[in-house]
Structure 1
């Protein structure tokens, strides 16, 4: 009878684990949103009572009249008035204006460079006038065509063949896949100085965010890493996810500031001061409370949300902060009591696998300072949204156009994408920046932040 009861207990525990795994989504675990089932997930936002959409004081953003139109079309009143008066004989009283904002017709402009050649009458030396540095072939595309191919492929993840089709439809040019690939290689090569300055600038920031996501290369899983802040973004493509990749990127191994991340073990081996993402913790606590009936997890989640919103609103008192930290420790102890340590499995080497609830409680205890750092340092955000926003574009790229054919292609793409993201964050023109790459005078962002 006792053996039967023990087997039933084991099976019930296994059933609960499987049901919890089946119910996981991006709002109850670290699972990406792309794997969510097709229904509306729950939000962590608190209701404000305001209606959805733009608020009454929202300034809006509408198309405005231009003070300097490129073309003006004059429309005269002709014919006769209903009384028989000829309108041509009547002076204009006033005018009503309307404007149409449209694109000009796209057509390639062909510029022919004619270099004079002269022969010295004395020594018969032949001398040719130099061509501009960006004019290297007898017939070639110009820097704006090159920039547009890179812009479509890297900024908007349009595959090579479709990029060619877009250019053919717009302006009659159809560069080959090989030409676009050469453009990517050339742009990455000319952005080496940018990347060097970017690495140095990131190591000098007080707070950095880090994350990683899968990035297939030639059908095999590799990893795209991001290290960023509000004004700078570094992407690095690498075959490994852990310490080897971080060392090759040459940023975080020398960084001693505050690093916000999602508790990936490799980050804890770095010399930085650590801050853990509170949004990840809330999702995991929700999963334990809703799918495993862990009361302590629900209570800790609500306490954490409350203290975060009070801190954000500026209403968190020192006494409330101290009370929360005391409650935080108490709930973790409850979590450990609710999830006792699993005994060693006879005949199996190594540590016994522990439940998710116990692992989470132990992690919060072990890294208590990193979890609660946002309470004591206003520079530290509650979540790791900065890195997650930066890594999201890579997930979109993976969905739209897949992975890369070679590791070099992934690394080139990462460097160009770092440049584009950094320009966007600083309000600089991505288009002008990419054109400058192909004219030989690279537009550099501000690294002295």
Structure 2
């Protein structure tokens, strides 16, 4: 309304002017309240926006870490593939060697089965008796005899530590965390004389998520105590190539190398 209209209305009807002012004041307060509500909602949204930005930054950091972890795993996979190929190649060589030894063994067996007329002209020496007296016992372990097995030793010749680098639960670096224990496995091997290698896999507790982690043992170490590849190779050689009985091989391993 214009000023002249307000003055005319005031002189003619003051009550209407008072009502108009009261209505205006009510509408002003309503707008003021609405403004405060909008201002409060704006602050809430602004706070949420800050939280969202922080969360986005955290997620981006996790994505970068996961990408690095994926690259590391891909590198490990490539390394494992190369190792598998090398082991497969070794397995083929071992199989060829086994076939060769089995062929020699079969030839020896066949030559022993030939009748005297087809053999070589070698005069057989008369038997003068065996150095080992006969026994009424059946071959093998006797009932009630004390058993023996391969046990871990307290003083291994060599200790190899297998370290932990990442937490298996949350993926974070725990290299600097102190180990809370070790899981041990021992591999008995031969290097001129008996050599016991103890493998210790670290056990660590993640300081971030409290997950308990244990390092991996090598693939070839599957038991708490076992023979190494050198011992197995010698045993196979003595049995399949030299045709030495199992009992004599066992005696040799025990007396010469202190292996049971």
Q: TM-score, normalised by structure 2?
A: 0.31
Relative contact order, higher structure (CA 8 A, sep 6+): 1
Q: TM-score, normalised by structure 1?
A: 0.21
| Bigger share in helix | 2
Larger Rg belongs to: 2
